[in-house]
Copies of this chain bind each other. A is one copy, B any other.
Amino acid sequence: MTVQTAIRPACPPPAALMGRTTRLGSPDQNEPLRAAGSVTQVSEGREIFAQGADNDVFYKVVSGVVRTCKFLNDGRRQIEAFHVAGDVFGFDLGDERPMSAEAVSDCTLICYRRRSVEALGQKDGAVTRQLLQYAMQNLAQAQSHALLLGRRGAAEKVAAFLLDWADRSDQQNNVRLAMTRQDIADYLGLTIESVSRSLSQFERDGVIALPNARDVRIRSNEALEDLAA
């Protein structure tokens, strides 16, 4: 693992950043994993772990964006997911990493040793329930991703991607894209050219504005939702 494990201070508590639903899990204040992790900084573009590597830790994002991806023999890349603050990633079955993870932007992460957490889970049921919660969030995300990849045209994919990202953004219609066109393409199963063309088309149609390559202003949420079909 090529991560520069940095400081381990008294921990800036990542309390504010715990995901969405908490049906099966427990509320933030007694986040069951709180004690077990160590904080790590990873700078943009750095690999967090590699496909095939030893699968002994997992992570939670405090800030920044992480991509998890798989590679085929010939180098083709499929990005499985982008992970933002509150998401857990790298939590997989098996002894080997089924995919790799890289920092899309500078990131602050909390790193958990799998064995420690499992041991903890033996004593405290809330830990396991929390893990289950995370696993199921990832599952739901993976499933809607599959829907996106399977049966949608290029424009639909890009529109859906923008809407998805707008949801996660503070300002619902001023989306800042942390990732490159190549990342978007590899997430959507397209080429950079197709992504670019779709975006340009949306702009020509007045659905969005592109002040620069990394920022998207959504002019008509409605139109975008129609495009996402």
Q: Which positions in A face B, CB cutoff 8 Å?
A: 17, 19-21, 23-24, 70, 72-74, 76-78, 80, 91-95, 98-99, 114, 118, 121-122, 125, 128-129, 131-132, 135-140, 142-147, 149-152, 186, 188-189, 229
A70 CB to nearest B CB, Å: 5
Give CA–CA (A144, B135) in the complex, Å.
Answer: 15
Q: Is the CB of A118 within 8 A of B229?
A: no
- In the complex formed, the residue of B with least CB distance to A96 is B20
Q: In the assembled complex, how far is the CB of residue A112 from the closest CB belonging to chain B, in whole angstroms?
A: 14
B98, A143: Cβ atoms under 8 Å?
A: yes
A73 / chain B contacts, CB cutoff of 8 Å: 229
Bound Cα distance from A188 to B151, whole angstroms: 9
Count of identical protomers in the assembly: 2
Given the known interface contacts A77-B151, A128-B128, A135-B135, the answer about A93 and B23 at a Cβ–Cβ threshold of 8 Å is: yes
Q: Is the CB of B92 within 8 A of A140?
A: yes
Q: A20-B93, A72-B147 are known contacts; what are 9 more A-B pairs with Cβ within 8 Å? A: A19-B94, A20-B95, A70-B147, A78-B151, A80-B147, A131-B132, A142-B145, A146-B149, A150-B189
How far apart are A114's CB and chain B's nearest CB, in angstroms?
8
Q: Which residues of B contact A23 (CB under 8 A)?
A: 93, 114, 118
A189 lies within 8 A of B151 (CB): yes
Residue of B nearest to A22 (CB): B93
Q: How far, in whole Å, are A21 and B99 apart by their CA atoms in the complex?
A: 17
Select from chain B the residue with minimum beta-carbon distance to A68. B143
A50 to B122, CA, bound (A): 36
Residues of B within 8 A of A77 (CB): 151
Task: Name the distance in Å between A135's Cβ and chain B's nearest Cβ.
Answer: 4
Query: Provided the pairs A78-B150, A122-B125 are in contact, do residues A95 and B21 lie with their beta carbons within 8 angstroms?
Result: yes
Contact of A142 (CB < 8 Å), options: B122, B137, B142: B142
